[in-house]
Structure 1
């Protein structure tokens, strides 16, 4: 007789709860440094240094929670692990490339000569954007049952866009907490505007003479 009842009944719920908790912690913790990376082009060079410095001590460790969630999925639900990663093979591969690009850009940016910093800033932004979009795409496809139809892909694409905006909001709130002065005011405007504020700021960055 089992002390806590039949583990075949309650153990899946325990592992499911642990996975959910790991993903939630990942979204909150890694969300702010992904958001800072997405917001990076909207700042000037001095502000970019401050933005990167604000996430420096934390960003690498935050990805541990994603590894934990995937590990729990593999250990507790191996069949689901195989089905999900098979269906989402392409966005998972792109996400991993984005994470690698972020890591390389972060390390090289700190050691590169000043003239190479813009290149690594763009690389860090690109890696952050790819990672955020791929995570949103995977979330949308998972919600729609991993069925690659036109409607489901459209829904997943919208999910990818809005998850990226959500990450940028978390990143903006992090900058409000960790910075001061003009950058803090900019971050407050980015956070206050939500999706439209982010789109407006991005449009002004891309086409400054027209807006």
Structure 2
């Protein structure tokens, strides 16, 4: 692709690094920004810089937060005995959009994948165990819901966590398989995801 300006080329190269955006789409976005008032571009730039530099994560569940503890963990109407374990932050947003779940979350930050060199130590599993042993709210955790991808890596992670929790005497369930095998929560429709949460089943390694 030939560019009329090195500035355009540099902008297109950077924008096309974003997921799902090719060079043609990046070029359209770059040209669109050029046509906008300068304040529009300045506001966008400032928002991205703030997003990157000022975003923090909840010290309890590892969800994105504007303060040390996120609003979900602090929510007075949340069931503190329920913790839904998810792979990453988009999964929290997907489940929240169903309006079918009122418990807490725990973001692992990934799933166990030996091929990619991701082991249990790279995930937030230790802090999950700590939350069970020493609940932040003081209310005991009664159930762990595993809302992980229906993939080999997701099943491996679920199996590992379940074995870790077996001696804790806590109920461990998994969302019903209304989600297609190999599917990601982020791209599942809200009705299917909501039903999966409501019809969750016990998870056992026996």
Q: Same fold (TM over 0.5)?
A: no
When you count helix as a share of all residues, which structure comes out higher? 1
When you count strand as a share of all residues, which structure comes out higher? 2
Please, what TM-score do these two structures have when normalized by structure 1? 0.25
Higher relative CO (Cα under 8 Å, sequence separation at least 6) belongs to 1
**Structure with max Cα Rg:** 2
